[in-house]
Amino acid sequence: MGRLPELEPPPRVVDASLLAAVVLLLATGAVSLVSGRPAGAWVFDVHAVAGLATVVLLAWKLRRVRHRLRPGALDPTRLVSGLLGVVATAALATGVWWVVGGSLDLGPWGLLNLHIGLGLLVPLLLVVHLRQRFALPTRRSVTDRRNALRYAALVGSGAVVWRAQETANDLFDTAGAERRFTGSREEGSDEGNRFPVTSWVADDPDPVDRDAWSLTVDGRVEESFSLGADAVFGEESGPVGDETRPTGDEERALLDCTSGWYSEHDWQGVRVGDLLDTAGPESGARWVQFRSVTGYRWSLPLDEAGDALLATHVDGDPLTHGHGAPMRLVAPGRRGFQWVKWVESVRVTRRREVGEALAVFVSGVDG
Ligand SMILES: Nc1nc2c(c(=O)[nH]1)N[C@H]1C(S)=C(S)[C@@H](COP(=O)(O)O)O[C@H]1N2
Ligand SMILES: [Mo]
């Protein structure tokens, strides 16, 4: 470790920095889950550099307190602290592991989901830990110029390691090298339905009977209407899975799932803008909500919704059930969880429904 101890700020400053780092990591982590456009790439960079700086902070902290965490010395308070140390270490390790190309098969979840889960556990344990042990840093240590310099060095080395990692990943051509700025890796682009099926939580409906299905457009519109399978797929349409081509529109778009993969395709279907033009939104209408047969739903701002597509086909092949047949939302620039599958309703609203964020998490749980 050599000169590292000289870099080490006083204990309470380290502790306060860890708290600040956790807040920053949680905030950037949360925002990163809904960022899918390159303009938001900095959020991922801040998350990564803060994570690397936290590795050093946590190492200092654990070295300082390790004597309190000996098995013989444990009481309930220290147990929480010890658990927090383990969970925080695991959260950092899984993040780093992902970046260098690691992966993990946990049934429906993967390494990135584990990283997110561990990251969400940290604040829960931290709240308990802080109630037991919180102490503010002294005023002097906060204004001490040496501490400011130590910080610059810490964040600076985080940034350097972050850059070096990109070079190393490229050099050794690891799975980590093909990451998008969101951290996601490519899977099955331009290969029709051959990309991962991701229905998180419990959304797993029976195949939707296309002939009994219809798409309803209603809400704050001049004229509501429904389209049956005939109108969407054409009169001579057979069962789902045939080669009938859609008569409508095409859009190239990239689906980027927060579990760590992305896939880019040409999607065919019905432009949402055309549906909205037909229905005629009332003045004051601002959102469009897309709802699945399962209750899963998400809203897009009215203007943006016009450019979205309700896809029936991918790369010319009819969507499979797993990918949302007969119809799924294609929302360019939005993260995968907003691409609602098995859509049966398009509703124009004035306000966004508060419960939809919750529905995304619990939809399908009741069967
Ligand atoms: N109804 C419904 N739509 C859904 C989901 C779901 O669980 N239920 N999962 C979402 C998530 S998290 C992603 S990444 C994409 C995945 O689409 P795919 O299964 O076609 O790859 O669908 C989204 N749409
Ligand atoms: Mo996802």
- The residue segments making up the domain with residue 149 are 4-180
Give, as one character, the DSSP assignment of residue 228: E
Give, as one character, the DSSP assignment of residue 331: -
- Beta-carbon count within 10 A of 286 CB: 15
Following DSSP, what letter does each residue of 28-42 receive, concatenated? HHHHHHT--SGGGHH
Per the domain annotation, does 257 fall within a domain? yes
Is ligand 1 within 6 A of the CB of residue 203? yes
Helix/strand/coil for 321: coil
Is pLDDT above 80 for 112? yes
Please choose, from the candidates 270, 263, 256, the residue with its C-alpha nearest in 3D space to the C-alpha of residue 308: 270
Nearest ligand 1 atom, CA 293:
1
Q: What is the pLDDT of residues 13-33, one digit of tens each?
A: 899 999 999 999 999 999 999
d(CA 72, CA 69): 8
Domain of 256, CATH number, reads 3.90.420.10
- pLDDT, residue 219, reads 97
Q: What is the pLDDT of residues 85-97, one digit of tens each?
A: 999 999 999 999 9
- pLDDT, residue 170, reads 85
Q: For the CA atoms of the chain, what is the radius of gyration?
A: 25
Q: Which residue from 185, 257, 258 has its CB within 8 A of the most atoms of ligand 1, so it is best to mutate?
A: 257
Per the domain annotation, does 325 fall within a domain? yes
Q: What is the pLDDT of residues 250-306, one digit of tens each?
A: 999 999 998 899 999 999 999 999 999 999 999 999 999 999 999 899 999 999 999
Give the bridge partners for 335, in sequence order.
Answer: 256
Region class of 316: left (phi > 0), else alpha (psi between -120 and 50), else beta: left
- Over residues 127-136, mean pLDDT: 87
Please choose, from the candidates 349, 335, 354, the residue with its C-alpha nearest in 3D space to the C-alpha of residue 302: 349
Q: Which residue from 341, 344, 358, 360 has its CB within 8 A of the most atoms of ligand 1, so it is best to mutate?
A: 341
Give, as one character, the DSSP assignment of residue 245: P
Q: What is the pLDDT of residues 214-258, one digit of tens each?
A: 999 999 999 999 999 988 987 654 444 444 445 579 999 999 998
Q: 225 and 117 in one domain?
A: no
pTM of the model: 0.85
CA 153–ligand 1 middle distance (angstroms): 42
Residue located nearest, by CA, to atom 20 of ligand 1 = 323
Residue located nearest, by CA, to atom 17 of ligand 1 = 198
Is ligand 1 within 6 A of the CB of residue 196? yes
Q: 219 and 175 in one domain?
A: no
- pLDDT, residue 44, reads 95
Does the bond joining 207 to the residue before it have cis omega, within 30 degrees of 0? no
Residue located nearest, by CA, to atom 9 of ligand 1 = 199
- Ranges assigned E (strand) in the chain: 105-106, 109-110, 185-186, 214-219, 225-228, 249-257, 261-271, 287-292, 297-301, 309-314, 317-318, 328-330, 343-349
Tokens of 198: 């991701």
> Where residue 136 falls among pLDDT bands split at 50, 70, 90?
confident
Q: 228 and 124 in one domain?
A: no
Per the domain annotation, does 209 fall within a domain? no
Q: How many structural domains comprise the chain?
A: 2
